[in-house]
Amino acid sequence: MAILYNTESTLAERVEACLDDDFKHNAIKNAQEAFYVSRGRLVEEMGDGWQQLRMHAMEVRNHVTENLDYYVKQFAENAEKNGCIMHYAPSGDDALWEVLDVFEKHGAAYAVKSKSMMTEEVGLNEVLEEAGIKITETDCAENILQTAESKPSHIVVPALHFNREAIADIYREKRGYEGSSVPEEITHFLRKILREEFMEAEVGIRGCNFAVAESGSVTLVTNEGNGRMVDTFPKVQIVFVGIDRIVPDLESLDTMMALLPRSAVGAKMTAYFSLDSGPRGEGEADGPEEVHIILMDNGRHELANSEFSDMLRCMRCGACLNICPVYRHITGHGYGSIYPGPMGLVLTPGLVGYDDIDNMVYACSLCGACTEHCPVSIPIHDLVRQHRINIVDQHKNHAIEVPIFKALGLFWSSRPVYLAGMKIGAPVMKVLAHGGNALDASSTWIPVVNSWTSTRDFGVLSETRFRTWFKEHKEQQNNAEGGEQ
Amino acid sequence: MKIAFFPMCMVDMMYPEVGIAAVNVLERLGCELEMPEEQVCCGQGLINSGYTKEMIPAAKMMVDAYDRSEYEIIVSLSGSCMNAIVNDYQVLFKDDPEYLERTRKLKERFYEFTDFIVNVLGVTDVGASFHDTVTYHKSCHLTRILGITEPPLMLLQGVEGLEYIEMAHADRCCGFGGTFSFKQPVIAGEMVYEKCQTIIDTGANVICGADMPCLLNIKGALGRMRADGRLDRDIRVLHIAQILDSKE
Amino acid sequence: MALGNKTLQDLLGPITKQLDHEAVAESVELPEWEFKAQRVTDGMTHEQLVDKFQEEAEKVRTEVVRCSADGLAAAIAAIVGKGVPETGEACTVIAADDDRFAQCGLYDAIKAQELVTDLTVWDSEQGEECIQAALTATYGITYTTGGIAESATVVQPTSPKCGRAVSLLPLAHIAVVDASAIVPTMFEVMKEYEDKGEKLPSQVCFISGPSATADIELVRVEGVHGPMYVNYVIVE
């Protein structure tokens, strides 16, 4: 898909479209609610342990970031010792080239894939399809999206924007499904058709939640078991590993795994967590015969040692999406990036720069709920703001807003200007408010102000300032004191 | 006790009655208030939109006005502005050691209104009475970043006759976000309507908070909902200082 | 620059530069960690840990039975003897090739069940046939190497005697775990692997209950790609 997958529309257009879709809007709100409640229960159960885990995860991840070159190297060398074939991809295009090369060497034309954000980032599916290779998404939701040719609206449950009827129809039309729209029946239909694909596919493609430097292992977290299927039957396996997935040792996996499923789906553990160290061992009858690891940077190293280095701690759990008051309304589709929500507002421009992101970084009220919920304590909302600061510093802001903010800067730092503004503003607003104390729906013709009054009333400036009252109040107090003496 | 009072610009410009109520409450509790003249706005809206250079004059003005030896304690009537001053200024002045140092010193003396009453004065019953049902919006920066969660609730509980009803997701953002509400009016509108619905659902007659900007936003949306028929009763919007200054 | 065929050095160079390092360090010592998290299992006796394991398992819809080493065959036979879960139809079984299973007479006990029409014991030499048997099997039986009390997780390494398919493909998975191998958290399992210092098995799978999804309207459905039913048998 590439990171930005919807550059032909503006943020405003996408937001409008999302708000028009009541089913999707409510589905995302319900998902937030469900994850919020289940996560909250588990966090509470851990007591002080939760904050301690967060702090420990932060120190571990920071240590890796500070020594990233060392740990990338250690992981690569140890994975190779385990018998994996290493491919190094400084860029996304390098990764694609390496993948195509593996397919070509094996003459393979059929792959199954377990959800991986890294492959989305480089647009792997499109490239493979162009090369005549069939690739099947095997996570239920991803399969629904692939079959329906749609995009994810949520990072953990990406097909929530379709209701059961729509999903049943998609499979009726495309895969000859004959059952009802009961989720269980549709899911078991998927179990059946995808099993055949797992068995037939020549190549399995997957991501990696954490890579262990010390043991050269890769890991995969799934609930459905599709990750295990990809990991068991295709003879050739391709693992996408981001350089920001590395933990130093096996022990630190415990910390990460205590945080990840709780934060992502409000569960103590996912049904499956596999720790893979090389191809199938001697005498083993299943598992991949050949494991190719694509170790990919694609712009991540630029976050290290920068104002955004905290973002390299991110484990892609989606906790920030599940609490974000903006995301719940505009859904994953509003952002137009494969990385949506608060973490996406930081990561997307961090990886692609500021030129093509439209107003994305302004789709945030800086409320800080993301920061509070982040299991690795990334100051997400501060980093969103840092992007805004950089955009202004690099003159990539809209030229039209600059005089407005310069004027505000002056108004807010100069008493004469402020006082003059108040003097003129108060009576003018009084007139606009028809003598009342609010600019209501009748004032939507006023430029700038109407961006507020289109949805809400706006209070008017007071005729007497508080400071004027206070001054008089103090004078009265002093006079009274003087009188007593 | 001598206190420097920081009302925030919105109270000065639009809601003097809120500032007056706060002064009444603090003076009744024995505080002697002062307020430097030469200050306008903390400038938060600028840094939140990325305009740091443009904010520096406002921030320096703020520091110059309040960083004085005679002000041992400064009481802020807003959690959000206080957060800008004590935290954001450190980002703003990262290359200005003099102002950075003064900001740090200022931070030690800064208290938010409700936190000051409860944790410095040690008072939870300010002698107010307010016979009505009240819900409270936990504004983001006050609650989450400054971590001031209990004092406003303790003070409300100390008010005679007040029946407190908690709203669902009381700490969910109302959608104000400073310039956010102008730059993204559609999203902000959606957020504030949802916030208002949770307020309406409590059945309370009064919504109060400790940050005027959020209340401006909520009041604006409730007003619009009342006007177009989505709300069929009056809900009063009050700053907590107004309740603490009440005898009703 | 040409695409592909990049070396490790090509990948590392920009990272090293960005970090202002002169070169990739020869070695990096792990620091003394400042934080250690308390866990809900802290201070539990072993007995409490086993109870916790059972309690958590039941929360993730996993049935738990406890038995003695002598009673293992009977305990498992009682499960498979009921036939296909819910319908009670005749069933087939695939089991790991494990000495402990053989010693306790498990294979014979399963074969003796009226409703069991076929038993396959995993044999790597006959890999394809075993996978085919697993694909249609009702029950897959494995002897796991440990359990994690905090999350009701069993630890399932791949080996020549127990393929990945046994715990993955059947409709139901019966996972046997020694009570003595139940530890508080994943940390202990990881530490043990670390202390051994050997190459890890090709896969260690941590299993916690049945395969599940909530992808359609957030409705929980069990039995997506892996087992729909999971039973833990704790050997005390």
Phi and psi torsions of A219, nearest 5°: -130, 160
Query: Could you write out the DSSP letters of every residue in B25-82?
Result: HHHHTT-EEE--SS-----HHHHHTT-HHHHHHHHHHHHHHH--TT-SEEEES-HHHH
Pairwise CA distance, residues B126 & B26, whole Å? 9
Place of tokens 């083993």: A284
Per-residue pLDDT, A483: 60
Pairwise CA distance, residues A248 & A256, whole Å? 11
Pairwise CA distance, residues A275 & C203, whole Å? 6
Place of tokens 């729209």: A181
10 Å Cβ neighbour count for C215?
A: 31
Among partner residues A359, A452, A462, which is closest to B13 by beta-carbon distance?
A: A462
Per-residue pLDDT, A484: 55
Per-residue pLDDT, B37: 87
Question: In a mutagenesis test of the A interface, which of C55, C202, C230, C232 is the best target, namely the one with the most A β-carbons within 10 Å?
Answer: C202
8 Å CB contact of A56 and C215: no
The tally of CA atoms less than 13 A away on the side-chain side of residue C179 is: 19
β-strands A217-222, A272-276: how paired?
Answer: antiparallel
Low-confidence ranges of chain C (pLDDT < 50): none
Pairwise CA distance, residues B35 & A307, whole Å? 37
10 Å Cβ neighbour count for C69?
A: 12
Residue C230, beta-bridge partner list: C62, C173
Contact residues on chain A for C211, CB-CB shorter than 8 A: 223-225, 271-272
Per-residue pLDDT, B41: 92
Pairwise CA distance, residues A356 & A92, whole Å? 18
Q: Is B19 on the interface with A (CB under 8 A)?
A: yes
Nearest in space to A265 (alpha carbons), one of A37, A2, A14: A37
pLDDT at A286 exceeding the cut of 60: yes
Q: How many structural domains are present in chain A?
A: 3
Q: What is the pTM of this model?
A: 0.95
Query: Could you write out the DSSP letters of every residue in A216-231?
Result: TEEEEEESSSHHHHHH
Per-residue pLDDT, A243: 98
Distance of CA B88 to the CA centre of its chain: 16
8 Å CB contact of B216 and A469: no
User: Looking at the structure, do residues B131 and B112 belong to the same domain, yes or no?
Assistant: no
Structure tokens at A450: 């109407």
Contact residues on chain A for B188, CB-CB shorter than 8 A: 365, 455
Among partner residues A56, A229, A254, which is closest to C186 by beta-carbon distance?
A: A254
Pairwise CA distance, residues C35 & A50, whole Å? 11
Pairwise CA distance, residues A46 & A28, whole Å? 27
pLDDT band at residue A155 under the 50/70/90 scheme:
confident
Of B119, B147, B162, the one marking the end of a domain is B119
The tally of CA atoms less than 13 A away on the side-chain side of residue A369 is: 29
User: Looking at the structure, do residues A299 and A322 belong to the same domain, yes or no?
Assistant: no
8 Å CB contact of A412 and B188: no
Residue C26 counted as domain residue: no
Q: Is A37 on the interface with B (CB under 8 A)?
A: no
pLDDT at A388 exceeding the cut of 60: yes
Pairwise CA distance, residues C13 & C24, whole Å? 9
CATH number (domain holding residue B129): 3.40.50.11810
User: Residue type for A144, please?
Assistant: I
Pairwise CA distance, residues B120 & B31, whole Å? 11
User: Looking at the structure, do residues A286 and A334 belong to the same domain, yes or no?
Assistant: no
Structure tokens at A456: 């809400």
Per-residue pLDDT, C1: 56
Per-residue pLDDT, C2: 67
User: Looking at the structure, do residues B114 and B154 belong to the same domain, yes or no?
Assistant: no
CATH number (domain holding residue C173): 3.40.50.10420
Among partner residues B23, B50, B186, which is closest to A388 by beta-carbon distance?
A: B50
Nearest in space to B12 (alpha carbons), one of B29, B35, B45, B46: B35
* Shortest distance, CA A301 to any CA of chain B (angstroms): 24
Q: Which residue of C has its CA nearest to A57?
A: C35
Those residues whose C-beta lies under 8 Å from the C-beta of residue C208, and which sit 6 or more positions away, are A268, A269, A270, A271, A272, A273, C60, C151, C152, C153, C154
Q: In what order do the strands lie in the sheet with A85-89?
A: A85-89, A290-296, A236-242, A203-206, A110-113, A134-137
Residue C139 in contact with residue C83, Cβ under 8 Å? no
ipTM score: 0.96
Residue A165 counted as domain residue: yes
Contact residues on chain A for C187, CB-CB shorter than 8 A: 251, 254
8 Å CB contact of C36 and A284: no
Range of the domain at C198: 43-235
User: Looking at the structure, do residues B236 and B127 belong to the same domain, yes or no?
Assistant: yes
Residue C25 counted as domain residue: no
Higher pLDDT, A392 or C2: A392
Per-residue pLDDT, A415: 87
β-strands C153-157, C146-148: how paired?
Answer: antiparallel
Place of tokens 């800008």: B84
pLDDT band at residue B69 under the 50/70/90 scheme:
confident
| Max Cα–Cα distance, chain C, nearest Å | 72
Nearest in space to A192 (alpha carbons), one of B203, C228, B138, B139: C228
* Shortest distance, CA A385 to any CA of chain B (angstroms): 6
Pairwise CA distance, residues A149 & A144, whole Å? 8
Contact residues on chain A for C33, CB-CB shorter than 8 A: 56, 59-60
Place of tokens 């190459």: C199
Those residues whose C-beta lies under 8 Å from the C-beta of residue A151, and which sit 6 or more positions away, are A1, A5, A6, A145, A332, A333
Exposure b/e, B131-169, CB count within 10 A at least 16 = b: ebebbbbbbbbbbbbbebeebbbebbebbeebeeeebeb
Per-residue pLDDT, A422: 86
Nearest in space to B116 (alpha carbons), one of B140, B144, B142, B145: B142
- Averaged confidence pLDDT in chain A: 94
User: Looking at the structure, do residues A390 and A407 belong to the same domain, yes or no?
Assistant: no
User: Looking at the structure, do residues A87 and A142 belong to the same domain, yes or no?
Assistant: yes
Higher pLDDT, A436 or C177: C177
Q: Is A412 on the interface with B (CB under 8 A)?
A: yes
Among partner residues C4, C207, C221, which is closest to A94 by beta-carbon distance?
A: C4
Pairwise CA distance, residues A390 & C28, whole Å? 34
Residue C37 counted as domain residue: no
Place of tokens 């502005």: B81
Residue A13 counted as domain residue: no
pLDDT at B21 exceeding the cut of 60: yes
User: Looking at the structure, do residues B173 and B114 belong to the same domain, yes or no?
Assistant: no
Residue A8 counted as domain residue: no
Alpha-helical segments (H) within A209-324: 226-232, 250-265, 319-323
User: Residue type for A107, please?
Assistant: G
Question: In a mutagenesis test of the C interface, which of A35, A67, A69 is the best target, namely the one with the most C β-carbons within 10 Å?
Answer: A69
Residue A117 counted as domain residue: yes
Residue A84 counted as domain residue: yes
User: Residue type for B82, please?
Assistant: M
How much is the average pLDDT of B91-96? 95
User: Looking at the structure, do residues A156 and A118 belong to the same domain, yes or no?
Assistant: yes
Residue A185 in contact with residue A243, Cβ under 8 Å? no
In the stretch 224-263 of chain A, residues with CB closer than 8 A to chain C read: 224-226, 228-229, 231-233, 243, 248-251, 253-255, 257-258
Per-residue pLDDT, A451: 85
Per-residue pLDDT, A302: 97
Residue A425 counted as domain residue: yes
In the stretch 158-197 of chain B, residues with CB closer than 8 A to chain A read: 171-173, 175-178, 180-194
Q: Do chains A and B touch (3 or more CB pairs under 8 A)?
A: yes
Phi and psi torsions of B123, nearest 5°: -115, 135
Chains in touch with B (≥3 Cβ pairs < 8 A): A
Of B99, B119, B139, the one marking the end of a domain is B119
Contact residues on chain B for A401, CB-CB shorter than 8 A: 49
Q: How many structural domains are present in chain C?
A: 1
How much is the average pLDDT of A158-184? 95
Range of the domain at B193: 123-244
Q: What is the pLDDT of residues B158-210, one digit of tens each?
A: 999 999 999 999 999 999 998 899 999 999 999 999 999 999 999 999 999 99
User: Looking at the structure, do residues B156 and B236 belong to the same domain, yes or no?
Assistant: yes
Query: Of the ranges A22-36, A430-444, C46-60, C61-75, which one carries the lowest mean pLDDT score?
Result: A430-444
Three-state secondary structure call for residue C60 = coil
In the stretch 202-241 of chain B, residues with CB closer than 8 A to chain A read: 216-217, 219-221, 223-224, 227-228
Residue A407 in contact with residue A332, Cβ under 8 Å? no
8 Å CB contact of A47 and C186: no
User: Looking at the structure, do residues A463 and A474 belong to the same domain, yes or no?
Assistant: yes
Of B91, B119, B147, the one marking the end of a domain is B119
Those residues whose C-beta lies under 8 Å from the C-beta of residue B66, and which sit 6 or more positions away, are B4, B6, B36, B39, B74, B106
Query: Could you write out the DSSP letters of every residue in A5-34?
Result: --TTS-HHHHHHHHHH-HHHHHHHHHHHHH
For the four alpha carbons of B28, B32, B36 and B41, in that order, the dihedral sign comes to: negative
Contact residues on chain A for C158, CB-CB shorter than 8 A: 280-281, 284, 286-287
Q: Is A73 on the interface with C (CB under 8 A)?
A: yes
8 Å CB contact of C224 and A45: no
Residue C16 counted as domain residue: no
Of A399, A422, A437, the one marking the end of a domain is A399
State the count of interchain CB pairs (< 8 A) between A and C: 300
Residue A79 counted as domain residue: yes
pLDDT at A485 exceeding the cut of 60: no
Exposure b/e, A244-263, CB count within 10 A at least 16 = b: bbbbbebbbbbbbbbbbbbb
Pairwise CA distance, residues B195 & A193, whole Å? 45
Q: Is A214 on the interface with C (CB under 8 A)?
A: yes
Range of the domain at A364: 316-399
Percent of residues, chain B, with pLDDT higher than 90? 95
Residue C32 counted as domain residue: no
Phi-psi region of A115 (alpha: psi -120 to 50; beta: other; left: phi over 0): beta
Helix orientation angle between A22-46 and A11-20, rounded to the nearest 10 degrees: 90
How much is the average pLDDT of A287-307? 97
Residue C220 counted as domain residue: yes
pLDDT band at residue A1 under the 50/70/90 scheme:
low
Distance of CA A96 to the CA centre of its chain: 23
User: Looking at the structure, do residues A204 and A352 belong to the same domain, yes or no?
Assistant: no
Q: Count the residues in chain B.
A: 248
Identify the burial level of A480 via C-beta atoms within 10 angstroms of its C-beta, where 0-12 means exposed, 13-18 middle and 19 or more buried.
exposed
Nearest in space to A35 (alpha carbons), one of A323, A233, A447, A310: A323
Structure tokens at B6: 């920081």
Helix (H) or strand (E) holding C92, with range, is strand C91-95
Place of tokens 């160079």: C13
